Amino acid sequence: MASDPDGELVARVGAGDRAAARLLVARHVDKLLALARRMLGDGAEAEDAVQDTFLKLWTHAARWQPGGAKFETWLFRVAINACYDRLRKRGTVSLDEAPESPDPGLSPERVLQNVELSKSIQAALDALPPRQRVAILLCHYEGRGNADAAEILGIGVEAVESLLSRGRRALRASLGHLRED
């Protein structure tokens, strides 16, 4: 098994090294936040979920056992559970709010197009059941392999493939209007 690229940093965090904590945050926070935003469709709530994820890391780092699950796998699992908790508390899923992330280097027309596209994707993702949504996000949005996603979700690869297949079918139906673009 390849060595965990975060293993040493996690051990240092467990020993109370603040510089290592800062490096771990810098390495993972953007990915986790992007995933949480797409899971929750709400920027502020996504930030809270990511903060909770790192809080769990700070309290568990001293007990981290190298050689078990890959650290990033564990971290994503914690983040996804934090998102699930929020979705459960919310009860309903918001369809009308989507994060907007305009790139200052793009033309106003392109920015508007991207924002609209982002909203359409968010609305389509929000309409998916949470497990299909997270499978789609891990594999197609994050670019992870099915086996990696299966490990993060704690399910089999076939179950991930089934979630992906159903999720893609629903997204194709929701985003059909974008096919003409």
Partner 1 sequence: MNDDDERLIALLQDAGTRDRAEPASLALSARILADFDAALARRWSVSRLVDAVWPGAPAWKPAFALGLSLVIGLGVGALLPVYGAPDETSIASDASPGLDFGGDLR
The residues of the shown chain that bind partner 1, judged by CB under 8 A, are 13, 16, 18, 21-22, 25-26, 29-31, 33-34, 37-38, 47, 50-51, 54-55, 58-59, 62, 99, 101, 103, 114, 117-118, 121, 136-137, 140-143, 168, 171-172, 175, 178-179
Closer CB to partner 1, residue 22 or residue 90?
Answer: 22
Query: Coil, strand or helix: which one is 79?
Result: helix
Closer CB to partner 1, residue 124 or residue 150?
Answer: 124
Residue appearing with tokens 């985003």? 175
Rounded Cα distance between 95 and 92, Å, is 9
Closest contact distance (angstroms) between CB of 7 and partner 1 is 18
Rounded Cα distance between 37 and 31, Å, is 10
Closer CB to partner 1, residue 3 or residue 15?
Answer: 15
Return the exposure string of 86-107: e unless at least 16 CB atoms fall within 10 Å of the residue's CB, then b. Answer: bbeeeeeeeeeebbeeeeeeee
Closest contact distance (angstroms) between CB of 93 and partner 1 is 18
